A and B are shown apart, each in its own frame.
Chain A
């Protein structure tokens, strides 16, 4: 085998190694996106687990707010039925509205159970915000990876598709700030 033959073999090996490395890298990023997406799911589940307690607590103090509490219950049911991360977002404003009731009902505001729920919800909201940011960070890295040449060729062969970053919906963009 002459020098040219050896060169061809080396080149083929180099290309093969590159393809394997890129394949594994894309797969690894895909898994990261899945894991961080499930992180959002975990945070949303924690938030929804708190909602029944919140509704029970508020009911005792706010007899005339059935409509709002009913909407919140329905939003929770909808999320639990289809587990769509986007539908989880619809409840954010409703939860904020329920918490804002404390401003109109001083007895509710003073309730220790309500204060504990507020603190738990704040922790959960922070977790959820962090999970979304992490998801967006992983999606951005993954999308960049599969768009950049020549890794885009390998991504094309793998059928790797771009993922959507998480964007705040219209309701969330109205920016209801709850002051705890």
Chain B
């Protein structure tokens, strides 16, 4: 069903904005090649006239050339990036779900990211490519690309300290605020060796699931652990394995009361390519799947939550809708 829906979206984009955006990409590509050749020519020139013998001057010119090159490259791409996001990505977003709104230069805040409890060990936070909207039962969704970095300092033998930043997470992060409140409180993270020592860990029946994931209740309380089991049914476990196989990365999910937090390390999302087609099918299908992640998470849990918290009628309505769609 997903592939069929995406084919229609892709054909619309390809025929409406495809040629125009491709034209822009080719111009950017040519200008970037030109900038590279100019920078290379400057470096060859300063080498050929023997400026390398005057080391400080050479370094200044070298650094200035590289910096200038990087500046020009990024400036050249800005308008193309803006148009790609406004015309191509925006179209995929709104056709995936008419209630979704995409704002490429907005993001979630660091406090919204921290509230998930996924990770605290970061020093820098960036966010963009914000999407908000409603899921099937009116549950609110907000998500964006998030990048976190950790500061690392190294001191050499001369006592000079160098500060570098290491990326700790780059991918999609989002929050679903459910209409049906829950008392559940648990987290699913990628499998790690040290997790075996966590006393709140709950072992699931599927060995394939256990290979990729660990489930932790947020306390030792038996009723909370049981709540986690009620939501993580064998079908839900299978869905998590499917998501893993689809993206080749484990998704992290935290359920806490009415909120479901999720994140998946899919790298830089929605960036326009320079060296391949801007309406490349595989790339746009990947972006389409990324936009679909919250729906996958929602569908995995919602039926179990509806039964747990007494709304069997809502579950029955969903079954009828799903059967009609199939």
Determine if A127 and B226 form an interchain contact, defined as CB atoms under 8 angstroms apart. yes
Partner of B226, one of A119, A123, A131: A131
Contacts of B223 in A (CB 8 A): 39
Name the A residues within 8 Å of B229 (CB-CB): 130-131, 133-134, 137
In the complex, chain A residues whose CB is within 8 Å of the CB of B56? none
- Taking CB atoms, residues of chain B closer than 8 Å to A38 are 222
B222 and A126 contact, CB distance less than 8 A: no
**Given A137-B202, A137-B203, do A35 and B222 touch, yes or no (CB 8 Å)?**
yes
Q: Can you list, as one digit per residue, whether each of B214-226 has a CB less than 8 Å from chain A (1) or not (0)?
A: 0000001011011
CA distance A54 to B233 in the complex (A): 27
* Nearest CB in chain A to that of B222: its residue: A35
Q: Is A57 interfacial (CB-CB < 8 Å)?
A: no
Q: Flag if A134 contacts B225 (CB, 8 Å).
A: yes
B304 in contact with A126 (CB, 8 Å): yes
Q: For the complex, is A28 an interface residue (Cβ under 8 Å from B)?
A: yes
What is the chain A residue whose CB lies nearest that of B203?
Answer: A137
What mask results when residues 38 to 64 of chain A are scored 1 for a CB within 8 Å of chain B, else 0? 110000000000000000000000000
A180 sits at the interface (CB 8 A)? yes
Residues on B with C-beta less than 8 A from A131 are 226, 229
Enumerate chain A residues within 8 angstroms of B290, measured Cβ to Cβ.
none
Q: How far, in angstroms, from A122 to B202 measured CA to CA in the complex?
A: 24
Contact A127 B222 (CB under 8 A): no
- Contacts A122-B312, A126-B307 given; indicate if A39 touches B222 (C-beta within 8 A): yes
How many chain B residues touch the partner (CB < 8 A)? Answer: 21
Is A119's CB under 8 angstroms from B312's CB? yes
Q: Which residues of A contact B230 (CB under 8 A)?
A: 126-127, 129-130
Asked if A87 is at the interface (CB within 8 A of a chain B CB), the reply is no
Query: In the complex the two chains form, is B308's CB within 8 Å of A123's CB?
Result: yes
With a cutoff of 8 Å between Cβ atoms, the chain A residues found around residue B199 in the complex are: 28
- Determine whether A141 belongs to the interface, using a CB cutoff of 8 Å to chain B: yes
Distance in angstroms from A141 CB to nearest chain B CB is 6
At the interface, is chain A mostly helix, strand, loop or mixed?
Answer: helix
The answer to whether A140 and B226 have CB atoms under 8 Å apart is no
- State whether the Cβ of B282 lies closer than 8 Å to any Cβ in chain A: no
The smallest beta-carbon distance between A47 and chain B, in angstroms, is 15
User: Please, which residue of chain B has its CB at the minimum distance from the CB of A140?
Assistant: B203
Residues of A within 8 Å of B310, CB to CB, are 119, 123
Is the CB–CB distance between B307 and A134 below 8 Å?
A: no
Cβ of A36 within 8 Å of any chain B Cβ, yes or no, is: yes
B70 at the interface (CB under 8 A from A): no
CB neighbours (8 Å) of A141 from chain B are 203
Among A119, A122, A130, A131, residue most surrounded by chain B Cβ atoms (within 10 Å):
A130
Residue B205 is within 8 A (CB to CB) of chain A in the complex = yes
Chain A 93-132 residues near chain B, CB threshold 8 A: 118-119, 122-123, 126-127, 129-131
Given contacts A123-B307, A134-B222, A136-B205, 13 further A-B contacts (CB under 8 A): A28-B199, A36-B226, A39-B222, A126-B304, A126-B307, A126-B308, A127-B226, A130-B229, A133-B205, A134-B202, A137-B205, A140-B203, A141-B203
The 9 closest A-B pairs by CB, nearest first: A130-B229, A130-B230, A119-B312, A35-B222, A137-B203, A134-B229, A133-B229, A130-B226, A39-B222
Q: Could you give 30 example pairs across A and B, Cβ below 8 Å?
A: A28-B199, A32-B220, A35-B222, A36-B225, A38-B222, A39-B223, A39-B226, A119-B310, A119-B312, A122-B307, A122-B312, A123-B310, A123-B312, A126-B230, A126-B304, A126-B308, A127-B226, A129-B230, A130-B227, A130-B233, A131-B226, A131-B229, A133-B229, A134-B202, A134-B226, A136-B205, A137-B202, A137-B204, A137-B229, A141-B203
